[in-house]
Chain A
Amino acid sequence: MSVAGSACAVLLILLVASLYRGWSTASSVLTRLPGDVWVAQAGTRDPFRSMSMLPSGAAGRLEQISGVRLAIPVFARRIAFTQEGRDVDVYFMSLDVPTGPQWPAAVRSSFLPPRGGVAVDQVLAQNAGLHVGDELDVLGRKLRITGIRPGGNPLYQLAFVNGADAPEVLRLGDVTSFYLLSLANGANVAAVARASEAALPGTEASTSAAFAAATARLVNEGFLPVVGALVAIGFLVGGAVIGLTTYTATIEKARDFGVLKALGASDGFLYRIVVQQSLIVGVAGATLGIGAAALAASLIERRVPEFVTELRVGDAAGVFAITLLVSLVAAYLPAHRINHIDPAIVFRA
């Protein structure tokens, strides 16, 4: 029972932590696009929550900057539509570059679909029951699903369309949302960013990592306090379970402890027994909890696409270590109780 109790606490902690990790890394998709620097309208630091409107046709100007190999116009817009009777709300992006073998296959299938195609993320696919080859009807424009990218998140589902389809699907008119700069090897990123801002007044340039981090920060700020509270509750529950179990066991075994006292066991010897017992419960509970968390995260993610998790070895190791620490703290009360066990108890029938 006690092992199960502490395992449940560890399971809760790790599920919350892995959910947090999964969500906070959802924006990392921005770092996997084929570019290094994002140029956005000034004041736009998160592509998913704020608009960016830049003049079209500025790619040539940006490509004049030393170190810029390619300036890719990016069109982006959130579109709500109905798919087979189900309301879906998707963040569409389009990289206006010729698709072809110059791009790695993974980039092509995830971000650069062919004309008339759309690449969606796994969460969207599972939520809307979509498969490769299915047709998506976006405001009257038919798009065939050509790829399903792993990952996604519950906040915004992403879909990429071909650059040639962007005007018709996204209907942004003569506006480009962002420019994504692909840099030459050895280019000075900071210098390129400064030069981009100078070349296109009213813009801000940031690296893909910084752009993704700004998005992740919003998730962190929103969820971290909740996650922290749940993790703290988990540790409290786990510690209480271990402490109560060890305490109860100490009370139940008071006579045995009395026997050991009568045999001449020192307080240190008895404390070690209690601490060992507490640690055994902690280790078993943590091990079981970590295994259960890995299994549960995988199973739930399959059933609930928004449940995007990332169970990190470091998190599991940290929770394991803290559980051991909590076990040690939980042993305090039972160890204290031992002091009050009268060894003469052993003479009572």
Chain B
Amino acid sequence: MTGRTSLLQVDGLTKVFGAGRTEVRAVDGVSFTTGAGEITLVMGPSGSGKTTLLTLIGGLLRPSSGRVVIEGVEITSLPSRELPRVRRESVGFVFQTFNLLESLTTLENVEVALNVAGVKGAEARARATDLLVAAGLETRLAFRARDLSGGEKQRVSIARALANRPALLLADEPTANLDSLHGGEVMDVLRNLVKEDDRAAVVVSHDVRLQRIADRVLRLEDGRLRAVAAA
């Protein structure tokens, strides 16, 4: 903890796949907290459980044990039908492969996230435009997602993740598919958007360049947290 308001609290989070001889403890007793305006970088080798940890925090996967508390709400004890609301209102996702809807325009990709939350029409358009301008994409609003560069796609993905003003941003290898120039751009956008609005971000990555924007670095090995270090 850094002393700032805790937006995310992870306690003894464990996820076990399979049973008996095939049992795999993908995430094993992970605990940490993240405060407003903080970027926490989770690093570790492939198969260390980074992405599983992210899906558990985002409520896409149920843990075997442990708790995830976002903005004071323990999402791990919520019924499944409540989780989409948590994801709409409190969590934004940024994916390694961007996961934009390729047939839609840049603007529509962000608008969709707003539509999902019930924001529609002119208001959705205005908010999506503001976010994309903040991400430096004002000249790409009408481009189809498929026509954007990797860096641009990732910036759209970040704008979409922030569309509903979530307190927590979860990013999975956000720079993995980008060259150093575009990776740097994405990092800057990520940092600015997190810091300006006092959000918290958990970023999982192999990319050591991300340490530049991280406030803390957690090292995960075999599902366990091995080290915590201030960046």
Q: Which residues of A contact B (CB under 8 A)?
A: 255-256, 258-267, 269, 342-344, 346-347, 349
Query: Do residues A259 and B101 form an inter-chain contact, with CB atoms below 8 A?
Result: yes
Query: Do residues A263 and B87 form an inter-chain contact, with CB atoms below 8 A?
Result: yes
User: What is the CA–CA distance of A349 and B101 in the complex, to the nearest angstrom?
Assistant: 15
Query: Do residues B116 and A265 form an inter-chain contact, with CB atoms below 8 A?
Result: yes
User: A255 to nearest B CB, angstroms?
Assistant: 7
User: B179 to nearest A CB, angstroms?
Assistant: 18
Whether B224 sits at the interface, judged by CB under 8 Å, is no
Stretch at the interface among B2-10, B34-42, B50-58, B208-216: B50-58
Other-chain residue from B97, B116, B172 in contact with A264 (beta carbon distance below 8 A): B116
B residues 52-80 in Cβ contact with A at 8 Å: 54-55, 58, 60-61
Query: Do residues B93 and A344 form an inter-chain contact, with CB atoms below 8 A?
Result: no
User: What is the CA–CA distance of A256 and B93 in the complex, to the nearest angstrom?
Assistant: 14
| Chain B: CB-nearest residue to A258 | B99
Other-chain residue from A256, A265, A343 in contact with B60 (beta carbon distance below 8 A): A343
18 contacts between A and B (CB under 8 A): A258-B99, A259-B99, A260-B116, A261-B84, A262-B93, A263-B87, A263-B116, A263-B160, A264-B84, A264-B89, A265-B84, A265-B88, A266-B84, A266-B116, A343-B60, A344-B60, A347-B60, A349-B97
User: What is the CA–CA distance of A296 and B57 in the complex, to the nearest angstrom?
Assistant: 60
Residues of A within 8 A of B87 (CB): 262-264
Residues of A within 8 A of B164 (CB): 264
User: What is the CA–CA distance of A349 and B93 in the complex, to the nearest angstrom?
Assistant: 15
Query: Do residues B55 and A344 form an inter-chain contact, with CB atoms below 8 A?
Result: yes
Residue pairs across A and B with CB atoms within 8 Å: the count is: 56
| Chain A: CB-nearest residue to B96 | A349
Other-chain residue from B55, B84, B88 in contact with A347 (beta carbon distance below 8 A): B55
Other-chain residue from A255, A264, A266, A342 in contact with B99 (beta carbon distance below 8 A): A255
- Chain A interface, >50% SS class: helix
B residues 24-52 in Cβ contact with A at 8 Å: 51
Residues of A within 8 A of B61 (CB): 344
User: A149 to nearest B CB, angstroms?
Assistant: 56
User: What is the CA–CA distance of A344 and B56 in the complex, to the nearest angstrom?
Assistant: 10
| Chain B: CB-nearest residue to A266 | B84
| Chain B: CB-nearest residue to A265 | B116
Residues of B within 8 A of A344 (CB): 55, 60-61
Whether B190 sits at the interface, judged by CB under 8 Å, is no
Other-chain residue from B51, B89, B112 in contact with A260 (beta carbon distance below 8 A): B112
Interface centre among A264, A265, A344, A349 (most CB of B within 10 A): A264
Provided the pairs A262-B58, A263-B160 are in contact, do residues A256 and B101 lie with their beta carbons within 8 angstroms? yes
Whether B85 sits at the interface, judged by CB under 8 Å, is yes
User: What is the CA–CA distance of A267 and B82 in the complex, to the nearest angstrom?
Assistant: 11
User: What is the CA–CA distance of A259 and B109 in the complex, to the nearest angstrom?
Assistant: 11
Task: Please name 12 further chain A to chain B contacts, defined as beta carbons within 8 Å, in addition to the given A263-B116, A264-B85, A265-B84, sorted by A numbering.
Answer: A259-B99, A259-B101, A262-B99, A263-B112, A264-B86, A264-B91, A269-B115, A344-B60, A344-B61, A346-B99, A347-B60, A349-B96
User: What is the CA–CA distance of A215 and B96 in the complex, to the nearest angstrom?
Assistant: 73
User: What is the CA–CA distance of A342 and B80 in the complex, to the nearest angstrom?
Assistant: 13
| Chain A: CB-nearest residue to B118 | A269
Residues of B within 8 A of A269 (CB): 115-116
Query: Do residues A264 and B101 form an inter-chain contact, with CB atoms below 8 A?
Result: no
Query: Do residues B95 and A264 form an inter-chain contact, with CB atoms below 8 A?
Result: no
Query: Do residues A346 and B93 form an inter-chain contact, with CB atoms below 8 A?
Result: yes
User: What is the CA–CA distance of A261 and B164 in the complex, to the nearest angstrom?
Assistant: 14
Query: Do residues A263 and B60 form an inter-chain contact, with CB atoms below 8 A?
Result: no
User: What is the CA–CA distance of A256 and B164 in the complex, to the nearest angstrom?
Assistant: 19
User: B80 to nearest A CB, angstroms?
Assistant: 11
Residues of B within 8 A of A265 (CB): 84, 88, 116
Query: Do residues B113 and A262 form an inter-chain contact, with CB atoms below 8 A?
Result: no
